[in-house]
């Protein structure tokens, strides 16, 4: 059963999320949806992660879903965001990271998972946090709405792990994923190349076993991070 949670980012945006725990928690995941979507898109993934001992918080990125309250009560709407406003969603990720730590889970037991623009955010946050073990990116791109991965890929450390999945029929993401695979120097790096699966969460809809594979990989990366 998901618990509805809220927190305020360091730039004053109220973020709403769904927190799902596990009876035997070994770590936690931050789940970042694609554009446009909401936290509800992660419900199946949250259930699977819990069976692997991974708690998770799926958030509505600023301007999406219920995360529409900005500083001083300003209403936020992703449909009118400029690129820099989308890029500022990295503060939403940091807020989730700090919220999970406040729940007693150590920073080296927290991973990031994202789809499309959320995938870019997950990779960028990994590049900022050397104590984070891993990130999983579903259909990442070079740049989505101002969130650029190529500028930050070189800052992902060799000891951090990256799991990328992209479908060949999603040409923009597939080409970018191939380039990211070359740019990222991680010693534990997987690029799952698939066919005819579309973009973002459609990849899981058409390949549900990939959710299980990702969950197993995240569990292994959390348990073996040094």
pLDDT for res 196: 97
The reported pLDDT for the residue numbered 226 is 84
Q: Which residues contact 22 (CB under 8 A, 6 or more apart)?
A: 49, 50, 51, 52, 53, 54, 55
Ordered by start, the domain boundaries in the chain are 3-223
**Which residues in the chain show pLDDT less than 70?**
none
| Cα(15)–Cα(174) distance, integer angstroms | 31
Tell whether omega for the bond before 36 is within 30 degrees of 0, i.e. cis.
yes
Confidence (pLDDT) at 96: 99
Alpha carbons 162 and 113: distance in angstroms, whole number? 10
- Pairing state of beta strands 134-138 and 161-167? parallel
Q: Which helix (H) or strand (E) holds 167?
A: strand 161-167
Q: Could you read off the pLDDT of 131-184 as tens digits, one per residue?
A: 999 999 999 999 999 999 999 999 999 999 999 999 999 999 999 999 999 999
pTM over 0.75: yes
Instruction: Give the model's pLDDT for residue 64.
Output: 99
Percent of the chain with pLDDT over 90: 99
Are the C-beta atoms of 96 and 15 separated by less than 8 Å?
yes
Q: How many Å apart are CA 10 and CA 49, to the nearest integer? A: 28
At the fourth CATH level, the homologous superfamily of domain 3-223 is Alpha/Beta hydrolase fold, catalytic domain (3.40.50.1820)
Q: Is 35 helix (H, G, I), strand (E, B) or coil?
A: coil
Beta strand residue intervals within 117-160, DSSP E: 134-138, 143-144, 147-148
């Amino acid at each position: 059963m998901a618990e509805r949670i809220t927190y305020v980012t360091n730039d004053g945006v109220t973020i709403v999320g769904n927190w799902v725990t596990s009876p035997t928690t070994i770590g936690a995941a931050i789940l970042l949806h694609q554009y446009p979507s909401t936290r509800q898109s992660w419900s199946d993934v949250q259930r699977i992660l819990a069976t692997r001992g991974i708690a998770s918080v799926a958030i509505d990125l600023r301007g999406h879903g219920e995360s529409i309250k900005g500083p001083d009560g300003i209403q936020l709407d992703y449909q009118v965001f400029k690129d820099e406003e989308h890029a500022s969603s990295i503060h939403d990720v940091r807020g989730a990271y700090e919220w999970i730590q406040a729940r007693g889970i150590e920073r080296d037991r927290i991973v990031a998972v994202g789809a499309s623009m959320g995938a870019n955010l997950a990779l960028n946050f990994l590049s900022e946090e050397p104590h984070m073990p891993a990130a999983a990116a579903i259909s990442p791109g070079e740049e989505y709405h101002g969130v650029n991965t190529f500028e930050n890929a070189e800052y992902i450390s060799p000891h951090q792990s990256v799991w990328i999945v992209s479908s060949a029929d999603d040409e923009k993401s597939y080409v970018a994923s191939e380039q990211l695979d070359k740019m990222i120097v991680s010693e534990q790096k997987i690029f799952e190349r698939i066919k005819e699966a579309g973009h973002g969460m459609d990849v899981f809809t058409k390949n549900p076993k990939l959710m299980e594979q990702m969950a197993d990989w995240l569990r292994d990366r959390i348990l073996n991070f040094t």
